[in-house]
Amino acid sequence: MEIRGISFDGRSRDMVDVDSTELHLTGAARHAVPAEPAKMSAYERELRDLGHRVAQSSVPKDLVKDRHVEMLESDKRLMREARLRFDELMVAIDEAEGSTELGLRLGNFSYLEQSASQRFMGNLPGVSRVQMEAANDGLLDAIYYYDRSLEVMTEDPELLNNKGFVLAELGRVKEAFQLVSRALKLKPGYTEALINKGRILHKVGKPRSALPYFEKSIQARPDYTQVWLYLSQAYSDLGREKDALRALEKIHKMRPDHKGSWLDKGIILDTLGRYEEAEECFDSALQLEPGDAEAWLHKGRIRLLRGDPDGAMRAFTEVNEIDPRNYIAWVERAKLQADRGNVHDALHYLDQALSFNPDFAEAWKLKGQLLSSLGRLEEARVAYKRVLELDKRNAEVWVKKGELMVEMEDYDEALAAYERALELNPESTELLLRHSELLNRLGRYDEAIGAMLRASELSPDDAEFWREAASLYHQEGAVGPALEAVDHALKRTPGDAELWNFKGNLLEESGRSDEALQCYDHALGIAPDHEEVLNNKGVALFNLGKVHAAVDAFERATHINPGNKSTWNNIAIAYDDLDMPDRAIECYERALQVEPQDKLLWNNLGTLLYRVGRQEDAVRCYNKALEVDKGFAQAWNNRGAAFEGLGR
């Protein structure tokens, strides 16, 4: 008697070929009644009859595949009675074949009953992992029955194979491998043992070693769809996607209703970027079983890849309606809600995910990011701490923790986080730059320069690195190091107008308008119609008191891009400085046509109108500013002054 085809933790655990769970009898034929001994007591007759009925009992063929198969209550009662009286039965049955049959039947039944129970519990909300692990008692019972029978028939290949299979389910793969190998030594062509040996090797991450066993099995059983499935999974893990797809096509020809093969084909096509075909496969699986949570999960991911977040959300929601414990779907829904700006809903979904899997690091990481975005910094710190308890080598989260600590002004903790990230990723120039900037902020200038030099050694000729360095320093207000970095970048790409513009901005911020002007002119020599540079040049000229020249620069910028409100605002200020209020008013009005919700523009226009004696128009402008922002104090103050001017 053999358990064949009960799946290990493969990709399609639910989908096992019908043949794969059939329990075969050994020894006497099912309907042959052995001759009754001449003398037998009533008790002996009762035991003999019980043993005979155990040998004749049946179990559902598709118990692994179908979560809702109902076993006959009569068989359940029979097998449970036999388990209670197992030791008596073993004593009463004096022939080896009968003892072997009894142990096999009870061991197989215990395993199948346990599997059904685990799947049932797995679908119940609120079932903890501890409860699930406690349910493994059934597997240990199966081992006990196999062992008792092996005491009688020590070299029975079916017993060895079945015990090996259940040990592998318990994670005791080394013992399982030894038993299945013994079974094959006793029965070299034993197909089920070949399959199980392949499964064990695949389970421990050795698909190349598993492959020959699956290939031998398929030679013996070319019609065995489940082996084709295992073969395709091994091919896929080895990067042989074409061979994997060919194996799955074999299944489709034999069994077009084989759901697991459609799922695996979809997964492979997904990895190949053939998303439309992949989705067709997942749809085929869902036609066969509309309540398959795994198929809905994959469909949701494909919808995302195909640019349909709403369709993805519907699919992930379907997963959780079918299986509320599916924490992956909860996290995917959280990501989608976060993308929509629904941060509180996203956090709720993450809490759902973590209630079912409190050790899911990805959920904690996203929770930390969202809490940080809400300003709930202490809670974010706790979330990142949890991620790092689960995965101490997650360099990305060490960086995020460092950024958070900077925001919380805990610079020593931030520095420790960056240094831990650098231990894990010592060649990250971005990390070295962050580290350098923080050292600079702490006044540890020599160390900051050292970190920057190490970064430059990693990317000595990379202008983009120096541009990034300049940008990071600028963000932190470190203008000196930013200028030094941008000079390094310009040595490598002197024809980059954007870099010259950036350097000009840094110099302008430092009050060095003359030098800034030279940079803007250099940029315009490379890109004469660069609107942003023209605008920036106008600002530098204005700050140098060259207002007419500034107006010329601003006007050139507006001709290139009349939709830039900042340039119109700048030219209005320049005209106002030249005592040309009418032109200034026109420019403010042009700016407000571009951006009518800009409170500062309304306030500036109101101030100018007030100054030229148009108090009522000024009040209307201040009112517009307050419609945009009721708490805009400057507009309230200016409006009050305008009312005073009107005598109100």
Integer CA distances (angstroms), 451 to 74, 410, 429, 455, in order: 76, 20, 9, 6
What number of CA atoms fall less than 13 Å from residue 15's CA on the CB side?
28
pLDDT-derived band at 9, boundaries 50, 70, 90: very low
**Residue 585 CA, distance from chain mean position:** 54
Helix (H) or strand (E) holding 122: helix 96-122
Total domains present in the chain: 2
N residues, the chain: 648
Other CB atoms within 10 A of residue 352 CB: 20
Q: Is residue 153 one of the residues assigned to a domain?
A: yes
Residue 19 has pLDDT above 60, yes or no: no
Residue among 131, 177, 183 nearest 155 (CA): 183
Mean pLDDT, residues 302-314 taken together: 96
Residue 534 inside a domain? The answer is no
Whether residue 567 contacts residue 533, with contact meaning beta carbons closer than 8 Å, is answered with no
Q: pLDDT tens digit string along 534-593?
A: 999 999 999 999 999 999 999 999 999 999 999 999 999 999 999 999 999 999 999 999
- The answer to whether the Cα torsion of 267, 269, 275, 280 is positive or negative is negative
Report which of 188, 221, 212, 265 is spatially closest to residue 22, judged by C-alpha positions: 221
| Confidence tier at 58 by pLDDT (50, 70, 90) | low
pLDDT(261) > 70 = yes
100 pLDDT exceeds 80?
Answer: no
Q: Which of 161-165, 197-201, 388-392, 495-499 has the lowest mean pLDDT?
A: 161-165
Q: Which of 197, 221, 245 is the last residue of a domain?
A: 221
Q: What is the mean pLDDT of residues 212-241?
A: 92
Residue 267 lies in a domain: no
Q: Which of 221, 255, 271 is the last residue of a domain?
A: 221
**pTM over 0.85, yes/no:** no
User: Average pLDDT of 100-123?
Assistant: 67
> Residue 143 belongs to a domain with what CATH number?
1.25.40.10
Looking at residue 84, what is its pLDDT? 85
Last residue of a domain, one of 206, 221, 236: 221
Beta carbons within 8 Å of 422's beta carbon, 6+ residues apart? 428, 431, 432, 435
d(CA 494, CA 374): 42
Of the ranges 179-193, 273-287, 424-438, 498-512, which one carries the lowest mean pLDDT score? 424-438
Average pLDDT in the chain: 84
Average pLDDT over residues 61-73: 43
Does residue 610 lie in a domain region?
yes
pLDDT at 374 over 60: yes
- What string of H, E and C letters represents the secondary structure of 399-468? HHHHHHHHHCCCHHHHHHHHHHHHHHCCCCHHHHHHHHHHHHHCCCHHHHHHHHHHHHHHCCCCHHHHHH
Given a cut of 50, whether residue 126 has pLDDT beyond it is no
29 located within any domain: yes
- Do 618 and 642 contact (CB within 8 A), yes or no? yes
> Is residue 199 situated within a structural domain?
yes
Of 297, 296, 302, give the one whose Cα is nearest residue 279: 302
Nearest residue to 331 (alpha-carbon basis) of 358, 350, 312, 318: 350
Residue 230 lies in a domain: no
Is residue 641 included in any domain, yes or no? yes
Distance CA 249, CA 245 (A): 6
Residue 647: which domain range? 596-648
Contact status, residue 379 vs residue 411, Cβ threshold 8 Å = no
**Alpha carbon distance 194, 583 (integer Å):** 90
